[in-house]
Amino acid sequence: MRTKLGTVVLAGVLAGCGVDTNDGVAPIMEATGESSLEVGEEPELPADTAGQCPTEGPPPVDIDYWELVHIGNAVTVWKGWDCSPLVDNHCFLPSLVATVQHVNFGAGAKMRVISEMATGQPVGTNATEFTKRPAKGPAGWYTWTRDHVTTPPREQLFSVTNGSYFMCNHNEATCHLSPFYSAMSFPQKKWNTITSLGADTGTYEIAKNTSAKRVFGLSNPGYPGPQVPSIVPYNDAGLSNAATVTTALAPFFDATVGLHPVYGCETSVEYRTFIGTRNSAGRWNGVQDRGYLLTSAKPMTIVQARDILVDEFKAMYTMQLDSGGSTQFYACEGGCLGSEVYEDSFDTIDWWWAALTQGLITSRPIPEVLAVYDAPYPAVDAAER
């Protein structure tokens, strides 16, 4: 969830500088659009924001091993575990650090941006409000998506994961408890239609005149052949008018706008949701045909979350989605017609205390999710994943 913060600055190096993908390609740097910064150069922090980040860095995030917990036709799920402390070199009490869904678009997996405009709302304005639901539950996003979205086929629905940021439109203190409506912070496009211009028109820059916003966009899932995902810069200079948004999102059938992977305080820790993409052959000018959705089970920094996708899963482009109490995903096998696979829902102590005292034993309601659909045909060879 994001409130109106005005200008927030990048604290840390540009994402991906000097990271070896171990894939036979040169050290990489994420696409950041036009920038006056040299590779690896840090932007200067304005005096009014430089003191807002914690001075002490967090401890490292330790992932001792990755467990493959689900193999689908074109979707696999990995869980990263921390074994500390080891007892006689044995891992007796592993604790979950993060879950990563690996979406193989080349093998037939699909994704959608899912939301529902509130009744009577105008389409595609700064103030358009959307219904909020948790990921799981009889009235949650998984059930709603299965019952209302028919492309791709509903029986292929695998999971829903929280999407981008949203704005409070009432009491800030209880916004995260509201089961009702919120506006999206940044633009959104669904079914080839602009559904929101974004309520937050603040300036987010990684360098002078270079927006820190990113677009996760998708081609039409109904077309024959593989769907194409993309993470690209969104250079709107802080503007959210119809012409700007229409131009920026024109290449996509579905799209949501998030933030540069290391935009914000690099020492602040909270639960994180990130998305990443890559070209399976490691080509920067190639089609992005792999997707990764990370939800952290332990609080971590934006750099730590980004590094999991880049270092462990070789993601070439990454983007921040909403985090903190909004971080959640719910997955079912066979469109929930079979057995439940798992759920991950993480929030702050404050949220759980409020939930317990108010009788709301559920995840935070959110207005947007990213839905993952598995392929309908036989599994590809594991080496192709």
Count the Cβ atoms, other than its own, within 10 Å of residue 135.
29
Geometric angle at alpha carbon 68, from 67 and 73, rounded to 5°: 170
Per the CB < 8 A criterion, the answer to whether 329 and 294 are in contact is no
Per the CB < 8 A criterion, the answer to whether 277 and 330 are in contact is no
pLDDT value of residue 176:
53
Q: Give the torsion through C-alpha atoms of 102, 105, 107, 108, to 10 deg.
A: 120
Per the CB < 8 A criterion, the answer to whether 354 and 53 are in contact is no
Whole-number Å distance between alpha carbons of 201 and 211:
12
pLDDT value of residue 380:
52
Count the Cβ atoms, other than its own, within 10 Å of residue 380.
15
Radius of gyration of the chain (CA): 20
369: helix, strand or coil: strand
Whole-number Å distance between alpha carbons of 28 and 178:
42
Whole-number Å distance between alpha carbons of 175 and 351:
11
pLDDT value of residue 167:
87
pLDDT value of residue 21:
30
Task: Give me the amino acid identity at 65.
Answer: Y
Cite the DSSP H helix spans in the chain: 141-148, 242-249, 302-307, 313, 349-358
Q: Report the Cα 253 to chain-centroid distance in Å.
A: 18
Give the helix/strand (H/E) hosting 100: strand 95-104
Per the CB < 8 A criterion, the answer to whether 310 and 292 are in contact is no
Q: How many helices (H) and strands (E) does the chain have?
A: 5, 21
Whole-number Å distance between alpha carbons of 158 and 112:
12
Per the CB < 8 A criterion, the answer to whether 220 and 258 are in contact is no
Whole-number Å distance between alpha carbons of 159 and 337:
13
**Which residue in the block uniquely carries the two structure tokens 């059938």?**
253
Per the CB < 8 A criterion, the answer to whether 108 and 377 are in contact is yes
Geometric angle at alpha carbon 114, from 379 and 199, rounded to 5°: 145
pTM to 2 decimal places = 0.80
Token representation of residue 353: 């205390």
Whole-number Å distance between alpha carbons of 363 and 176:
10
In tens digits, what is the pLDDT along the chain, a chain of 385 residues? 443 322 233 332 222 222 223 332 222 333 333 333 233 333 333 333 444 687 777 788 889 999 999 999 999 999 999 998 878 788 888 999 999 999 999 999 999 999 999 999 999 999 899 999 999 888 899 999 999 999 999 999 999 999 999 987 655 555 555 558 899 999 999 999 999 999 987 878 887 778 899 999 999 999 999 999 999 999 775 566 888 899 999 999 999 999 999 999 989 999 999 999 999 999 998 999 999 999 999 999 999 999 999 999 999 999 999 999 899 999 986 555 444 445 555 443 334 443 443 333 347 899 999 999 999 856 555 555 5
Whole-number Å distance between alpha carbons of 335 and 201:
38
DSSP β-bridge partners for residue 68: 78
**Eight-state DSSP code of residue 325:** G
Nearby residues of 300 by Cβ (< 8 Å), 6 or more positions away = 58, 61, 97, 98, 269, 270, 271, 272
